[in-house]
Amino acid sequence: MKIKWRKILLKIHLYGGLLCFWYLLIFGISALYFQHHFRFMENKNIPALVSTKKQLRIDPANTDSVVATNIQNSLDVAGWYLPWETYRDSAGNFHTMIANPQWDYSIVYNFQNSISTISAKQKSFWNLLIALHGFAGKMPNAPLLFIWNIYTYVCIAVVLLSIFSGIWLWSGRKRQRLTGWLIFSGIIFLSFSLMIFIYKHG
């Protein structure tokens, strides 16, 4: 039985493209933002929204990074603690900050009464969307983000495959296919030439 490669490839191209539809849109929006920093996407100066107090048992003898991680895990806050915002003040309070695409948490922990004060500042929705650009999905206390991580790799593979299969599918005629490959090779050559030029001259 003769395998209909063209038909199979068209299906992969079609379904793969549909699977990556939203990823490509988010990728386009975020990439444009990285170049132009549109004002409407920036975080507004929203004041600290929530301030709560919680009692925690944290060992002060540990290093700052361990203390910050223990506080974060005890509070079950998703995000990354910021080492440059982590310190102990003269009164003995421990300060740290945990950031994630949606919130910035400022945490002050008092070792004497074991009370932590958490102030949360919300970021804009755009910030969240932009954070999905190439998001590796390894955020502490947010285990299900691995789905987006897998999705990212799938989209990379599909887009690369789509470029090559798209040219192949472009036309059934060999001559046009050759033209497609030549145009594609030319574009890749120009793209890499530009990279080399910038690498050499800045």
Partner 1 sequence: MVKMFSLVRKLHLYTAFTIAAFLLMYFVTGSVIIMGETFSRKSIRETSEKQFIGNESEFAIVARLCKQFQIRGEERKKIEEKQTVYSYLRPGYRAEIIFPANEDSVVINLSQGSFGKLMNDFHRLRGFNGLAHIVWGVLYDLSCIALFLFGLSGLYLWWKIEKNKLAGGFFFLTSTAITVFTIWYLITVC
Q: Which residues bind partner 1 (CB under 8 A)?
A: 11, 14-29, 31-32, 34-35, 78-79, 100-103, 128-129, 131-132, 134, 136, 141-142, 144-145, 147-148, 151-152, 156, 159-160, 162-163, 166, 170, 183-184, 187-188, 190-192, 194-195, 197-202
CA distance 129 to 71: 27
CB 30 within 8 A of CB 24: no
C-alpha closest to that of 135 among 183, 185, 101: 101
Q: How far is the CB of 172 from partner 1 (least distance, A)?
A: 14
Q: How far is the CB of 18 from partner 1 (least distance, A)?
A: 4
Q: Which pair of structure tokens corresponds to residue 172?
A: 């059934």
Q: Which is nearer to partner 1, 88 or 177 (CB)?
A: 177
Q: Which is nearer to partner 1, 108 or 159 (CB)?
A: 159
Give the contacts of 43 (CB within 8 A, at least 6 positions apart): 123, 124, 127
Query: Is 102 buried (19+), middle (13-18) or exposed (0-12) by CB count in 10 A?
Result: middle
Radius of gyration of the chain (CA): 25
> What is the SS3 assignment for 140?
coil
Q: How far is the CB of 17 from partner 1 (least distance, A)?
A: 5
Q: How far is the CB of 171 from partner 1 (least distance, A)?
A: 10
Q: Which is nearer to partner 1, 84 or 199 (CB)?
A: 199
Q: Which is nearer to partner 1, 51 or 193 (CB)?
A: 193
Q: How far is the CB of 137 from partner 1 (least distance, A)?
A: 9
Q: How far is the CB of 59 from partner 1 (least distance, A)?
A: 26
> What is the SS3 assignment for 80?
strand
Give the contacts of 80 (CB within 8 A, at least 6 positions apart): 98, 99, 100, 139, 140
Q: Which is nearer to partner 1, 15 or 87 (CB)?
A: 15
DSSP 8-state secondary structure symbol assigned to residue 87: E
Q: Which is nearer to partner 1, 74 or 93 (CB)?
A: 74
